[in-house]
Amino acid sequence: MVIFGVWSLLFPRSFDAFSDFPPYNEHLLHDVGAFQIGIGVSVLLSLMWSDSIGVALVGFIVAGAIHSINHALDRHLGGHPLDQWELAGLVLVAMAALIVHLWGGSRQEE
């Protein structure tokens, strides 16, 4: 997932030729890459960490951060001017949730 995600994100024309997404949509392929990377990070992290809530939040944070960056870089392709900021806000909420989750979990172990 990470490999395909990086490919779609960085080389959308090549990935499009491989996957045959009709019609070509550069921003969509960037977003596909973001979400594939997030899924891949979640799967890999789940092999090392049994905290399902933590894994889900980290995967969301990774995908959401890349997605927000995509909207900033792809402004010329359309979308709404606030998209990148709204997505970044969701990532900050997820980061806060992860911190609360980790802090709460460590406090319960005491």
- pLDDT higher than 90, residue 15: yes
What single DSSP character describes residue 23? S
Kindly report, residue by residue over 60-94, the tens digit of the pLDDT: 999 999 999 999 999 998 888 899 999 999 999 99
Domain ranges of the chain: 2-9+16-109
pTM: 0.88
Four-residue CA torsion sign, 45, 50, 52, 58: negative
Residue partners of 82: CB distance under 8 A and separation at least 6: none
Which residues contact residue 24 at a Cβ distance below 8 angstroms, ignoring those fewer than 6 apart?
12, 13, 16
User: What is the predicted pLDDT for the residue at 20?
Assistant: 83
